[in-house]
Amino acid sequence: MNLFESVGRLGHEQVVFFHHAESGLRCIIAIHSTRLGPAFGGLRMWPYVSEDDAVRDVLKHSRGMTYKAAIAGLDLGGAKAVLIGNPETDKSEALFRALGRFIHSLGGRYIACEDVGTSSDDMELIRLETPYVVGVPEVNGGSGDPSRFTALGTLHGIRACLEFKYGHADLQRVSFAVQGAGQVGYHLVKLLRAHGAKVFVTDIAEDRVEQVVDEFGAEAVPMSQIYDVEATVFSPCALGAVINEDTLPRLRCEIVAGGANNQLESDELGTELERRGILYAPDYAINAGGLMSSALELQGYSVARAERRVARIHGIIARILELASEEKIPTWQAAQKLAEARLASISQTKLPFVAGSTSRAV
């Protein structure tokens, strides 16, 4: 792949390759933007088939983080890191400590957190070498598992969608089809049921479905039928690209609002949802609760502060829906416009981020 061409097209500031022979570390950190503050992003560990795949992944996801932090109103930039290796067999203390020293050498330009293939235990090893990491366990003063806050933020966003479409946010009067009962799905079903909503749920893992059926009284649906369920809200909480040309015509819902990343296979499908009268809550805005909570570790964490911050998602989604309606544009475009407007206006009022300075770490 032509790296400089890709980096130029996507607008990255810096891509760093780290290698440490003794521990076997091979890591790429892509800093997309520090215009709003230090670049924040998950550290993914994955046995990439090729180095090109690893580079493509890190470039794509780091750009998305810039938009997510911007729309969430955080003073953070966007980044992503990928560690090439098998999370089942290749982890060691030496590996994460070497990575921690490399992250430290960036002077705070990149702040790591857990992602696919890494855990809060790994973040603790990194923390031994650098303060530029969040997501350490709660017992050690960290914010712990972010998924509860991702689900809480999703609920706030769902309420904004209901108010916009029906003029009320009474969950007892609406129903949900939740795809995925993993960490986010579990907490979302719990919240929805606690507010009296009717919830249909599915997951590849039968034990996860059984758990939410037994604990919260959700109704199980076969995996292949979740798109056909006649529910007010379809809530993707499992995989990306679940709204695609095959699934979109099957949807019987009036709103798509869930915690999963990259729900639309392409932006055009967001436009098509709009055309069919289905309200789409842009995924990176509605699922920013986990990010909002984890980032508070940089300032001093408390659950009350996290809950207060995550509640902002209601207003963020409401603003996106209003702008889309005012300008007659699809909601995905309205979210992009708002994120870009904030990036442009706030970054003009700030001094450039200087590595080693903590004054702008939010």
Distance CA 51, CA 350 (A): 36
DSSP, res 321? H
Q: In what order do the strands lie in the sheet with 175-179?
A: 219-220, 198-202, 175-179, 233-236, 255-256, 279-280
Residue of 60, 119, 182, 228 interacting with ligand NAD (CB under 6 A): 182
Q: Label residue 55 exposed, middle or buried (CB < 10 Å: 0-12, 13-18, 19+).
A: buried
CB 24 to ligand NAD: min, Å: 26
What torsion, rounded to 10 degrees, do the Cα atoms 171, 330, 278, 241 define?
A: -90
The Cα 179–Cα 176 span in angstroms is: 10
Distance of alpha carbon 229 from alpha carbon 76, whole angstroms:
38
Give whichever of 272 and 283 is closer to ligand NAD, judged by the CB atom.
283
Q: Is 356 left (phi over 0), alpha (psi -120 to 50) or beta?
A: left
Q: Please identify the residue of the shown chain whose CB is closest to the bound ligand NAD.
A: 182
Our CB check for ligand NAD shows the closer of 7 and 241 to be 241
Q: Which stretch binds ligand NAD (CB under 6 A): 6-14, 118-126, 129-137, 183-191?
A: 183-191
> Does residue 261 touch ligand NAD according to CB under 6 A?
yes
Alpha-carbon span 304 to 295, nearest angstrom: 14
Minimum CB–partner distance for residue 216 and ligand NAD (Å): 15
For ligand NAD, the closer of residues 30 and 184 by Cβ is 184
Q: How far is the CB of 196 from ligand NAD (least distance, A)?
A: 23
Adjacent-strand bridge partners of 196: none
Nearer of residues 98 and 306 to ligand NAD, judged by Cβ? 306
Is beta strand 110-114 parallel, antiparallel or unpaired with respect to 279-280?
unpaired
Q: Which is nearer to ligand NAD, 108 or 142 (CB)?
A: 142
Among 181, 229, 248, 316, binds ligand NAD (CB under 6 A): 181
Smallest gap from residue 178 Cβ to ligand NAD (A): 9
- Structural contact between residues 203 and 266, judged by C-beta atoms closer than 8 angstroms: no
CB distance 221 to 229 below 8 Å: yes
| Residue from the set 161, 238, 273, 339 that interacts with ligand NAD by CB under 6 A | 238
Rounded to a whole number of angstroms, the minimum distance from the CB of residue 117 to ligand NAD is 11
Q: Which of residues 200-219 bind ligand NAD (CB under 6 A)?
A: 202-205, 208
- The catalytic position among 68, 80, 91, 198 is 80
Considering only residues 290 to 309 of the shown chain, the ones binding ligand NAD according to CB under 6 A are 290
Establish whether 80 is a catalytic residue: yes
Q: Which of 142, 144, 146, 330 binds ligand NAD (CB under 6 A)?
A: 146
Mask: binding to ligand NAD, 147-166, rule CB under 6 A, as x and -? x--x----------------
Q: Cα 333 to chain center, whole Å? A: 18
Output the smallest distance, CB 289 to ligand NAD, in A. 7
Determine the Cα–Cα distance for residues 124 and 96; give it in Å rounded to an integer. Answer: 9
Question: What letter does residue 90 receive in the DSSP assignment?
Answer: S
- What number of chain residues touch ligand NAD (CB under 6 A)? 25
Distance CA 150, CA 260 (A): 10
Q: What does the alpha-carbon distance between residue 127 and residue 112 come to, in Å, rounded to a whole number?
A: 10
Nearest approach, Cβ of residue 3 and ligand NAD (Å): 26
Q: What is the token pair recorded at 6?
A: 């890709």
Pick the binder of ligand NAD from 10, 16, 220, 223 (CB under 6 A): 223
Catalytic residues: 80
Residues that bind ligand NAD (CB under 6 A): 146-147, 150, 179-185, 202-205, 208, 223, 237-240, 259-261, 287, 290
